[in-house]
Structure 1
Amino acid sequence: MIGKGHSIARTGASIDYGWNQVKDAEVVLKEYLAGDTPQEITEEFKIIQSQNERCTNNTLSFILSPTIEDGKDLSVKDLEEISKKFLKEMNLQNNQSIGFVHRDKEHTHVHIYTNRIGFDGKAYNDSFIGKRSQLAADNVAKELGLTRVREVQQDKLQELNPQRLAIKQIHDRVLESKPKSLDEYINKMKEHQVKVIPCINKSNQLQGFRFEYKGMNLKGSDVHRSMTGGKLIGEITRNSAYTRMKEVPNSLKLMDKTVQVSANMATSIAKSLVKQVIKRSLDTGIGF
């Protein structure tokens, strides 16, 4: 089961969408609410939200998506239980909430709208709400015996084993040629029909790499654990004569641009360099 979540400002329009009869919507959850229409529910939300006018994104929107196979067998009562357990995992069981199931497509899914403002007038902390929603949904799936995201991902990776192996073999051959820059590595991978896609966030920080090959697009760690961004850059920086943690670069040249190295990636690069130094020392007998 997949869980998604974010804060929104368009309470009325969102609840109206959730209650869309064209999508065969059916109410599966109603907490601390009495209204029977989207307009009535919205007004009840607004009464509580008026206690905290500083909060503009004052409604929380969640989507819970069981797998197609699980969704076929879930009744309204089952979906109510899933929704309540999810809200409890998110520590929102005491806030106003309304939930709808949509069965207009093959993939059954539940829309939950929760008042971000509690009865005490305080706004719920929505930091990392997307990630927390994923974790909460996974915990509920585990508790109720539903298919978890990681199980689906593992099945997909098993199906892609030939492509993963091919990418890893090409990666190993390219590293054997000792590329001294990311651009050189990317270009050599391209010569073997593997497109390396840098993942750069809005802060211009390099987060990692994805690998595209024969229609497949996988992140480095899904190809092989040695192909995370930090480990890959560690290999290349070794070819550039970096050997100590203090020499880990905080920025890199990449496709004619300078990108920053995130703190997590810098730590990963440093660990990779340390392992390489230890290995070289063991191989030569220096210091041991």
Structure 2
Amino acid sequence: MIGKGKSISHTRASMAYGWNQEKDAENVLKEFLHGDSPNEITKEFKMLQDQNYHCTKNTLSFVISPTIEDGKRLNKKDLQTITKRFIHEMKLGERQAIAFVHQDKDHKHIHLYVNRIDFKGVAYNDSFIGKRSQLAAEKVAEHLGLTTVKQVQFERGFNLKEIRTEIKRRHDLTMKQFKPKSFDAYLKSMEANGVKVIPSINNQKKLQGFRFEFDGHNLKGSAVHRNMTLGNIGKQISGINGASILKENKVSINLGGKIVDLTPNMALKIVKFIIKKAIQKGISY
């Protein structure tokens, strides 16, 4: 569950959005209010807000978003419970408040509006309200057995680690199985092993790296593994003409029918590696 909060001055306009019936808005909470329209509610808010003319951003606007999976099983009573618990965690006390649930894009989320000015004319302290809103949402989720942001982040991190490991495994398999002699052959071999390799080409039409697309994830080489940067992949591919690179400080590469060049620094890095390997093997250029 995610919680966002801020103080606003445009009460009526913001509340009108929350009341938008085209988004299948459903009222789940109304505290100390009688109106049935944004204009009426705004006027009721203003009766208290006029007691504190020093405060200009005098309405608190919150968005409370359960995860999509949690949202699918939450009914109106559950959403009302979430809203009331959130108000409790934010220590808002007895104040005018109204909340709506939006269900657009299959993602239920609550729009909550609370009068920042209480019945004594005192303004709620909104310091760090964004951070406090998130912490309150975490507490609500924990209390009600819903998914917290920390759980979502952990799962995403865990899944991403598995994705990185699998892409690297398929890269190693490609090198061992197909022994590609060029970058183009490497791209085709990786695709045969279920990983789409996308060249990153700059404005000068020079190849500066690869991105790897697998199982809905798109990661640059360095994010997968340090050995999967362009330079390190180039070192693993034995079919590059080192002498040509050394002479012209560039190399033209065919990638999917398109001719691109390595950047000078990348070409130099690869040729130094090739020369070093050649010397080790006793081969003279």
Where on the TM-score scale, by shorter chain, does this alignment land: which range? 0.5 to 0.7
Question: How far did 1:152 drift?
Answer: 0.5
The answer on whether the counterparts of 1:163 and 1:213 sit within 8 Å (CA) in structure 2 is: no
Partner of 1:32: 32
- Find out whether 1:46 has 2:52 as its counterpart: no
The answer on whether the counterparts of 2:2 and 2:138 sit within 8 Å (CA) in structure 1 is: yes
Partner of 2:269: none
Query: Where do residues 117-136 of structure 1 align in structure 2 (5 Å cutoff)?
Result: 117-136=117-136
Which SS does the other structure have where 2:34 is aligned?
coil
The answer on whether the counterparts of 2:209 and 2:221 sit within 8 Å (CA) in structure 1 is: no
The answer on whether the counterparts of 1:48 and 1:121 sit within 8 Å (CA) in structure 2 is: yes
Q: Distance in 1 between matches of 2:164 and 2:135?
A: 27
Moved over 4 A (4+): 162-166
Partner of 2:220: 214
Partner of 1:272: none
Question: How far did 1:164 drift?
Answer: 6.6
Aligned residues: 178
Q: Distance in 2 between matches of 1:45 and 1:131?
A: 25
Q: Distance in 2 between matches of 1:60 and 1:52?
A: 15
CA deviations on 1:62-110 (whole Å, 9 max, x unpaired) are: 0000000110111111111100000010011311110000012211000
Partner of 1:73: 73
The answer on whether the counterparts of 1:63 and 1:112 sit within 8 Å (CA) in structure 2 is: yes
Q: Distance in 1 between matches of 2:77 and 2:162?
A: 42
Partner of 2:246: none
- Find out whether 1:16 has 2:16 as its counterpart: yes
CA deviations on 1:101-156 (whole Å, 9 max, x unpaired) are: 00122110000000011111111100000000000000000000001110011010
- The amino acid of 2:84's aligned partner reads K
Partner of 2:4: 4
**Which residues of structure 1 form unaligned runs of 5+?**
167-191, 195-211, 218-288
Larger radius of gyration: 2
Same amino acid, percent of matched pairs? 60
Q: Distance in 1 between matches of 2:95 and 2:116?
A: 7
Question: How far did 1:193 drift?
Answer: 5.7
Partner of 2:92: 92
- Find out whether 1:111 has 2:127 as its counterpart: no
After superposition, the CA RMSD in angstroms is: 2.6
**Which residues of structure 2 form unaligned runs of 5+?**
167-207, 211-217, 224-285
The answer on whether the counterparts of 1:84 and 1:93 sit within 8 Å (CA) in structure 2 is: no
- Find out whether 1:143 has 2:149 as its counterpart: no
